Amino acid sequence: MEKLSSKKEAEIWVIGGSKGGTGKTFIASIIGTYLARKGKKVILVDADLGGANLHSLFGIERPKKSLTNFFETKAPLNELLVETGIENMSLITGDIHSLASDNIKYTQKLKLFRHIKKLNTQYVLIDVGAGTHNNVIDTFLFADKKIAVLVPELLAIENMYHFVKNALFRKLRMALRAYDFKRIAHETWADRETKKIRNLRGLIDYLMGLPDIGDIIQEELSDFKICLILNKIRNKQDIFIGASIKSTFTKYLGISTQYVGFMEYDDSIWRSIRQRQPFMPNQSSSRLTKEIELFTENLLRGKEMRLLKG
């Protein structure tokens, strides 16, 4: 196992950005398992506050302690860790029943993020669940790596586009609170005809040209990178959907996306999940093993997939 430097902060990867059932929880579990088997120290955080179920993918009972204890009784995060049964990897669950997740204040979230960064581990993988609630968006924005899991279906693609757009505008609003970005953006958009602004990309480009806020917007945009994993693909053509989404995000929002890889639809996956067993690709599924390796290594190296047409 790699030596841990006591000063180094954990690297946070968040898995989210899409509607229900795309495979976020499953992908979080296999990325974690891959890293742990490689000797990296990993902590999974199940921040799907309404429907925490990451623990069941490892066949373990719902942990008695959860993030509720952090928020309500100030329990340190390391007291909430439970074993996953996989060496080098433990889990914190986010089951917040007694605490309405709407009531978590922004300052409480910042405190949680600060404590997560200080966990004694190399990687923290956070499963944020579905939806566009501010808790989900803020966790996504907080991450060092923003991993979006998508399936090749129109509704899922539209849903992710809205999520990414909302997250981007929240990031800009937070960074430019002092300048009242919300008002500037609204007023500019209302006057879009005279300003010849055709879409959101046009709006962003226009705002980037304004004094004071222009440079900040540019900085925020270059910091907003999505790592895309396409899950449940059923044929070779599906693979290229990731590339079209990448160009859509650039064209309409001006953000960069790294298409890190894909995972095919395979019955053995849902079967193992239904049996509450950690998914381990076996000899007969070496393709699945390669797919997991490809996107996790790309994530580790900050690279993306090379697509060869034909």
Ligand X SMILES: Nc1ncnc2c1ncn2[C@@H]1O[C@H](COP(=O)(O)OP(=O)(O)OP(=O)(O)O)[C@@H](O)[C@H]1O
The binding site for ligand X (CB under 6 A) comprises: 20-26, 48, 51, 129-130, 231-232, 263, 265-266, 269-270, 273
CB of 265 to ligand X, least distance (A): 4
* Residue with smaller CB distance to Mg ion, 56 or 134: 56
Please say whether the beta carbons of 263 and 229 come within 8 A: yes
Mode of pairing for the β-strands spanning 225-233 and 145-150: parallel
* Residue with smaller CB distance to ligand X, 26 or 58: 26
Among 22, 25, 88, 159, binds Mg ion (CB under 5 A): 25
Cα–Cα distance for residue pair 200/254, rounded to 1 Å? 9
Instruction: Choose the contact partner of 270 out of ligand X, Mg ion, none; CB within 5 to 8 A by kind.
Output: ligand X
CB of 48 to ligand X, least distance (A): 5
Using Cβ positions, the residue closest to Mg ion within the complex turns out to be 25
Q: Report the SS3 class of residue 256.
A: strand
CB of 284 to ligand X, least distance (A): 15
Please say whether the beta carbons of 256 and 211 come within 8 A: no
* Residue with smaller CB distance to ligand X, 32 or 254: 32
CB of 273 to ligand X, least distance (A): 4
Two structure tokens written together for 94: 């986010």
Q: Which stretch binds Mg ion (CB under 5 A): 22-30, 112-120, 146-154, 239-247?
A: 22-30
* Residue with smaller CB distance to ligand X, 127 or 138: 127
Q: Which stretch binds Mg ion (CB under 5 A): 16-24, 135-143, 233-241, 294-302?
A: 16-24
CB of 252 to ligand X, least distance (A): 24
Mode of pairing for the β-strands spanning 11-16 and 145-150: parallel
Work out the angle between the directed axes of helices 106-117 and 134-142 (0-180°, nearest 10). Answer: 30
Q: Which residues pair with 257 in a beta bridge?
A: 226
Q: Which stretch binds Mg ion (CB under 5 A): 17-25, 59-67, 152-160, 301-309?
A: 17-25
Q: Which residues pair with 99 in a beta bridge?
A: none
Strand intervals (E) in 234-298:
256-264
Mode of pairing for the β-strands spanning 145-150 and 42-46: unpaired
**Is 22 one of the binding residues for Mg ion (CB under 5 A)?**
no
Q: Of the candidates 302, 305, 307, 308, which has an alpha carbon nearest to the alpha carbon of residue 229?
A: 305
Query: Rule CB under 5 A: which residues touch Mg ion?
Result: 24-25
